């Protein structure tokens, strides 16, 4: 099943997609370098946890690209369908209109972003409160000299993304259930 590619020329939307991509790139580069790889060398983290982080990260960015470029579809001209509550709303989070044909991609993006943000927050928390201090650190590297600042930035971005995606995912599911209930009620009366 191939989805037609759809691009929207909106500078503000591309800026939002760029910011989300930079947050993804930041966490994909620095979290493994600061937490996963050093903890793997000391035996606190398994290779499966590293692979799970990278696979979740890959799913997150692929779902962002798919949701950003998928065709949202069009409403059919039908007098039976009320236009209130149904239609296409511009989501500057993905620089695309979210419609019937790409709504599932948008929900996938919300789910994978929640998963990656939650995993990052758990790793940040474990780094400070659960794991023992690292035995051998190469303090000459930039990332280890600024470890605290980099992890605080990661934690802040994780909290913002996790909270935002949870609320967005919740409103989308409630919207689906509300529209479904309204359509079911309209067919019975």
User: Could you tell me the CA-to-CA distances from 159 to 90, 120, 121, 132, 152 in Å, in that order?
Assistant: 24, 9, 7, 24, 11
pLDDT value of position 185: 56
pLDDT value of position 186: 54
pLDDT value of position 3: 56
Look at residues 160, 130, 118 and name the one whose alpha carbon lies nearest to residue 31. Answer: 118
pTM, two decimals, is 0.70
Torsion of CA 8, 13, 15, 18, to 10 degrees: -70
pLDDT value of position 2: 55
pLDDT value of position 90: 47
d(CA 95, CA 62): 15
pLDDT value of position 149: 76
Low-confidence ranges of the chain (pLDDT < 50): 1, 83-86, 90
d(CA 30, CA 187): 53
Q: What would the two tokens of residue 74 be?
A: 């069009």
């Amino acid at each position: 099943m191939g989805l037609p590619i759809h691009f929207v020329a909106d500078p503000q939307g591309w800026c939002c997609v760029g910011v989300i991509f930079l947050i993804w790139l930041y966490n994909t580069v620095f979290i493994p370098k600061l937490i996963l790889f050093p903890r793997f060398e000391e035996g606190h983290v398994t290779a499966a946890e590293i692979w799970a982080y990278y696979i979740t990260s890959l799913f997150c960015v692929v779902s962002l690209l798919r949701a950003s470029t998928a065709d949202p579809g069009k409403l059919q001209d039908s007098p039976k369908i009320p236009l209130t509550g149904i239609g296409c709303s511009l989501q500057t989070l993905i620089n695309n209109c979210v419609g019937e044909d790409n709504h599932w991609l948008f929900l996938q993006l919300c789910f994978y972003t929640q998963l990656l943000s939650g995993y990052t927050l758990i790793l940040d928390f474990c780094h400070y409160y659960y794991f023992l201090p690292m035995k051998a650190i190469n303090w000459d590297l930039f990332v280890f000299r600024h470890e605290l600042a980099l992890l605080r930035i990661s934690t802040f971005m994780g909290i913002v993304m996790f909270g935002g995606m949870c609320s967005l995912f919740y409103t989308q599911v409630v919207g689906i259930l509300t529209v479904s209930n309204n359509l079911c009620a309209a067919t019975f009366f």
